[in-house]
Structure 1
């Protein structure tokens, strides 16, 4: 019996719904989901029949960030691919195309936040044009908890959405927001009761899909041009720094643990 798909697709009235499907892990990102997710978003961007894209999570969460509990075979250094640092950077950068495409595709994109969102998940949510959340949704940057600097465009999108000062508060203080306080802070566009979140989100998504698609395309291009600068360069830098920072945190933790064990 084949394993269940980690990314689910549904089309309705010109809307493509992309669902992260690892509900047992609050849709945490690992290799089994990141590559299919990037492919799904790329396909939605290319599909002329699709006028709006909605991203959400299966079960009770949107996306809890990277799956730090997952195991990966140590990378073997080669002349062609470099060592673990280079390979990790290239791997993460490829997966982060999800955020770039959600942001840059010529179609409105909506994050339907049906529960907790954290870490890389806030990058995916921030990449979308709109963020509709259920009343049970929470929001947490979480990068400080793993000694990470941020990925999936999170440190690009949130200063632009919130302003630099509030974005620094979001990342440095690492506070957890419930749906209402997240709305007040500017993290969510709208908040709905959990039982009507899908209905209300799709109501807007269908209206957008039925609207002037070329108008939305050029409107979005204008809005992005007004703020983006060199976005891909930022993603390159962000994925490199995420790898460097988490590796440093892991090595420091291991060194401290070894020191403590020796006492």
Structure 2
């Protein structure tokens, strides 16, 4: 369970000094999603969010990929994602929705800062996972593709919704309809990567970024996330009304008092 290092077949978990790391672990299949991976990821996300020892979450992939999305080799072996059926199965729709909420849904709603570290490809549903994190870090060999149109699918795991909010409607349409492969530099230029570092520096740079977040004011960062998540569906007045109680709550914390004192004393604050 989160709080102690755990290993499952397709997902790894570690918690060290407030930094929880979840590693998608099917490197031989470019970390393509499997049911055990989805179920395990959902359980780990829920546990880490509830664990007060977790201050930041890092999601990454084993080997040279982040996550290739759906397992297209398995689709082919099954006669397509629909398994050769001629009508949509309502039970299959319900199960797919559950899987999406366990993964992208839980990651997007995670109450603490999240970082996706992309050592290589993030495609299809795997791109959805990367986009659901607060920040993304990669290298020149990071590759991003929506991938759905390339296998005659329309897309799932929230990719269209997340893309439109991150890069705008024009770019989102281009990426979904034309399915280009974007390298790390193109992703950084477009804003899909917040940071790009040399391949050999990714692990350390991810740790440094996670450490910065883990050492930050936890309640303030959590409330900042809520403000940002709610903003698209609120008017300005509604957003301001929601912000003020959170802002005032932060003002009661020792972290705020420490930060104000550190500002006056011209030093770095130490948050508790």
Q: TM-score range by the shorter chain?
A: 0.7 to 0.9
Bigger drift between 185-194 and 52-61 goes to: 185-194
After the TM superposition, which segments of 4 or more aligned residues of structure 1 sit over 6 Å from their partners? 72-75
Do structure 1's residue 156 and structure 2's residue 161 form an aligned pair?
Answer: yes
Among 137, 147, 150, the residue aligned to 1:142: 147
Q: Deviations over 1:192-224 (max 9, x none)?
A: 111111111111111111211100111000000
Shift of 1:228: 5.1
Shift of 1:72: 6.3
**Aligned position for 1:254:** none
**Aligned position for 1:65:** 69
Do structure 1's residue 222 and structure 2's residue 227 form an aligned pair?
Answer: yes
Shift of 1:50: 0.3
Ranked by relative contact order (alpha carbons within 8 Å, sequence separation 6 or more), the top structure is 1
Shift of 1:182: 1.3
Residues 29-40 of structure 1: matches in 2 within 5 Å? Answer: 29-40=33-44
Number of residue equivalences:
221
Residues 87-236 of structure 1: matches in 2 within 5 Å? Answer: 87-97=91-101, 98-227=103-232
- Rg larger in 1 or in 2? 2
Query: C-alpha distance in 2, partners of 1:26/1:111?
Result: 16
Aligned-pair RMSD on alpha carbons? 2.1
Do structure 1's residue 13 and structure 2's residue 17 form an aligned pair?
Answer: yes
Q: Which runs of 5+ in 2 are unaligned?
A: 1-6, 235-272
Q: Which runs of 5+ in 1 are unaligned?
A: 78-82, 230-263
